[in-house]
Structure 1
Amino acid sequence: MTEFKVGDRVHHDVRGDAEITYGPFDSPWGGTRYVIRLDSGKETAVSPGTLSAIPEPPKFAIGDKVTTRASRQEGRLVAGPFVSRFGGRRFWVVESTDGKHEAPSEESLTKLSEPEPVKVGDRVRVVKDSDGYRAGQYIGRVGVVAEVEPRNELPYKVRFGDGSGFHGDPDGHWWCEVVERVTDEDTYTHNGVTYDLSAKYRDRDGDVWHFARFGDKVVGLIGRDPVDEHDGDPFRFAAGYGPLTRVTD
């Protein structure tokens, strides 16, 4: 006979899914009983023969990024789970970032969430561009990911500005080693100058431009906000009437 404990999720063969709230106890009419709480909130006493366990989803899996309570180091699960000869506790093998291994108990592990991988079309800020030629030229600049090649030493091809320039131009593109997704601002960099797309800008003729981003395209329109990528001119057209001065009133 399967034994249950308070808190276990179970399935009753007639009443459906439930949770054990009390038991086991001896019934006055003979046999063992448990009290279960149905999903409706009602409780009832039932015999264990009418119950089946609902398996809990595994807490961890090979490849999960975790920290351990003892070392407080980050690592990845590379083997497990195993059952210890001493006390029957479950443990995993963790490989830390320095390549060393430890075997903590499952109870001492905390799973870490990982950010969604950067993909084509994401707006990113360059953390590290490339070594050697023009190293550091693009660090801190914001652009749009045009290609991702995970097997490359420089996996992210980032397009800057409107992408109309040649490879390496301010409004061209560059292969970068490390980038981070931009979530804190909506900006656009043109010829080394970063513009706030939520603001309005006045050109040298006194016209006031409104800008908006649609995917990897930025367009401007005089007098009102663009409604789509075809409703206005490319940013470089407005910049041709520069310098653009931010409107503060």
Structure 2
Amino acid sequence: MSERFAVGQKVQHSRYGDGVITYGPYRSPFGDDAYLVRNADGIEKTWFGRFISAPPKFAVGDRVTLRTRPGVLATVEYGPFDDRNTYVVKLVDEPADPDDVRTFTALASVMEAEPPIKVGDRVRVVAATFASRTHGRVGTVRRVDSYREFDGVRHPYYVELEEESHVYASAVERVTDEDVYEYDGVTYDLTAKYRDKDGDVWEFGARRANGEPRIHCSASGYDDLGDVIDAYGPLTRV
């Protein structure tokens, strides 16, 4: 018995390529499961179920998270294979336990695509043609929809790196190792906003080269976290 597919599902034919199910399944005159499928040209044709398969959920190079390892990010290295839809994945960061393996197999059922980059995310610049000197630097995303192009490559990410410093990037990666910072025994969430004793709201920006975070509000601009706490603290998370 062939696999069952649903209306609206994207499928692949072993000969005709990609399509979308518009009706079915139904029994063909030959006794096979059959479907009406709209191909890439918008034409509906009958495809037999035995020649149809669901496209792979992930592709080599995709970045994924794993429900079995919360907070862990991996890239797809190979797959899928076997009847359980298994992939080989590789951890983006070195495992915390030196005895743990970095490359291993994972089922598609526990894998989820990495969420898209959004405004406010802390990211590392992977590629920026016009400003290649910024590669590897960390900052905060302020736009994800820029149409700036350099050397014919679109740079959709506008990233704030430091005070009065920014870059348009063609590729970035989310960073999680900089989401918190401890100062004088208090841990601050660098993705959150904080209110000072006067009621002004402060927001973290890019760190200095030495790793110290900068913080700013509309009334005072940027300043060092410690100076702000001394002058306007305590800071309360909004």
Task: Tell me the TM-score normalised to structure 2 length.
Answer: 0.37
TM-score w.r.t. length of structure 1: 0.36
Which structure features the higher share of strand residues? 2
For the pair shown, the structure with the greater C-alpha radius of gyration is: 1
